[in-house]
Amino acid sequence: MKRQGMAIGQVFIFIIAAITFALIMIFGYKTITGFLESGEEVAFVQFKTDLENSVKKIYTEYGAVRVETFQAPLEHRQICFVDLDYPPEKIDEEMDALCALDQNACDLWQTAREEGGYASVDANVFLKPMVTVPIKVYKIELYNEDDTQRLGYHCLPISQGTFKIVLEGRGDKTRITEVVQEYE
């Protein structure tokens, strides 16, 4: 009789131990997942702040040039900058190409064109895959890599979470060009 009571007691202890272990595993998984998500949010906010501050900091320094390397969250493959004050007579030439690359950027550029440029929208930088938080850097003008042609938009690949751009202060805006070999 005693042995049967001890066996029932041991089974009860094993059941309690299994339930406790399962609860610890579930709680631990949720906590670790929450930490990872928080880390990704912090990385995005840091990237957004760095980009916005770099563009805003240099615009008043006429003629100053800096090559900046940015760390974007790893899941992003592309970044597009849009010049919301691009001359209207040239927009149609580039609008179709941008729409093929990034529909969200295309829609916002169209809105800016119809409603008054830079001040009328809340973003001018777009990531792929799309983010829910808009990124709007100070006024920009975009040029091709050899700095000979003004562009309405410029999309760059993000490789292993990083990309480089050349920032040049223009007094009232920041000129952005892609990094070419001579700067690297």
- pLDDT, tens digit (0-9, with 9 covering 90-100), for 52-81: 999 999 988 898 999 999 998 888 899 999
Per-chain mean pLDDT for the chain: 83
- Residue type for position 142: L
- Per-residue pLDDT at 183 exceeds 50: no
pLDDT at 84 (0 to 100): 85
pLDDT given for residue 63 in this prediction:
87
pLDDT at 169: 93
Asked whether the predicted pLDDT for residue 97 surpasses 60, the reply is yes
Strands lying side by side in the sheet with 78-82: 125-128, 78-82, 153-157
How many secondary structure helices (H) and strands (E) does the chain include? 3, 8
Q: Is the bond into 129 cis (omega within 30 degrees of 0)?
A: yes
Taking CA 53 as the corner, what is the angle to CA 73 and CA 79, rounded to the nearest 5 degrees?
40
Q: How far is CA 137 from CA 5, 21, 22, 29, 68, in A?
A: 73, 49, 48, 37, 15
Give Cα separations from 49 to 79, 128, 149 (angstroms). Answer: 15, 18, 28
pLDDT tops 70 at residue 3: no
